[in-house]
Amino acid sequence: MLKVRNISKTFNPGTINEKKAIDGLNLSLKEGDFVTVIGGNGAGKSSLLNAVAGVWPVDSGSIELAGEDITGLPEYKRAKLIGRVFQDPMMGTAPDMWIEENLAIAMRRGEKRTLKWMVTKQDRELYRERLSELGLGLEDRLQVKVGLLSGGQRQALTLLMATLKSPKLLLLDEHTAALDPATAAKVLELSDSVVERNNLTTLMITHNMTDAIRHGNRLIMMNAGHIILDIEGEEKRHLTKKELLDKFAEVAGHQEETDAVLLS
């Protein structure tokens, strides 16, 4: 489904702020794979998702999604294949527009925007139905500005918008990190059920090891722009938090060593 071949990305090349965010990364996802992504701050997790979503072009390598080479497509053209939820609950919705208008925009993701009236009666029925599945009471508030919703409500709405038109790939970037524990659990549960129901191919970044183990069928760990651990299936199911933390510490410790060498 997704084939990322040997991609690299360096930010601010040739300046003192030069930073190699992704370094010759390879990743291949089968249809229906639900992959959790972990790694320390600055490991390149968000950069991987941004590269796939087309926020900026990669320096080298290629990206193929659903049999189509998308390496040269800008973000708005890839959007027809990709649904996204961001870490910041403010980022995924238009605050000045109604709930139903936000959904209508998502309903036409990747399509040409015509001069047809945007929210039709039958659309509205569909929105109501899908909103009620969130269990947040939003189905009665179709004509409320999204800016008035709480972070958790907005994040749940963004999740619905990302999957309203079933995407080939769903990208979740720490999408529950800004929510309180109860709301985070609820949004995570919603994510699980929507992924399962639509058999969505998914990449989910999280800093929560337990979540990373419990969700999905495959887990990757990133460090310094590489994938350093890739566990799936049976092995992942038996993975313990301790093993993962040890692995994590091993990588971090290794990094400290190199830092020490550099400083000495």
Ligand X SMILES: Nc1ncnc2c1ncn2[C@@H]1O[C@H](COP(=O)(O)OP(=O)(O)OP(=O)(O)O)[C@@H](O)[C@H]1O
Instruction: Note whether 54 and 81 are within 8 A (CB).
Output: no
Encoding tokens for residue 143?
């004509």
Encoding tokens for residue 226?
């590489």
- The option from another protein, Mg ion, ligand X, none interacting with 93 (CB < 5 to 8 A, set by class) reads another protein
Residues 12-41 that bind ligand X (CB under 6 A): 12, 19, 21, 39, 41
* Binding status of residue 135 toward another protein by CB under 8 A: no
CB of 172 to Mg ion, least distance (A): 11
Instruction: Note whether 11 and 21 are within 8 A (CB).
Output: yes
Q: Which stretch binds another protein (CB under 8 A): 1-9, 56-64, 70-78, 223-231?
A: 70-78
- The option from Mg ion, another protein, ligand X, none interacting with 95 (CB < 5 to 8 A, set by class) reads another protein
Instruction: Note whether 93 and 100 are within 8 A (CB).
Output: no
Instruction: Note whether 179 and 152 are within 8 A (CB).
Output: yes
- The option from another protein, Mg ion, ligand X, none interacting with 111 (CB < 5 to 8 A, set by class) reads another protein
Rounded to whole angstroms, what are the CA distances from 239 to 29, 211, 218? 20, 12, 11
Query: Mask of contacts with another protein, 29-68, x by CB under 8 A?
Result: ------------------------x---------------
Q: Which stretch binds another protein (CB under 8 A): 13-21, 36-44, 73-81, 177-185?
A: 73-81
- The option from ligand X, Mg ion, another protein, none interacting with 39 (CB < 5 to 8 A, set by class) reads ligand X
Encoding tokens for residue 24?
């010759």
User: Residue 62 or residue 87: which is nearer to ligand X going by CB?
Assistant: 87
Residues 143-162 that bind another protein (CB under 8 A): 161
Q: Which strand ranges, in their side-by-side order, compose the sheet holding 60-65? A: 19-29, 2-11, 60-65, 68-69
Of the residues 95, 125, 246, 258, which one makes contact with another protein according to CB under 8 A? 95
* Binding status of residue 202 toward another protein by CB under 8 A: no
Instruction: Note whether 252 and 232 are within 8 A (CB).
Output: no
Query: Mask of contacts with ligand X, 66-85, x by CB under 6 A?
Result: --------------------
Rounded to whole angstroms, what are the CA distances from 217 to 26, 30, 234? 18, 11, 9
Do the strands 169-173 and 82-85 form a parallel or antiparallel pair, or are they unpaired? parallel
Residues 10-69 that bind Mg ion (CB under 5 A): 46
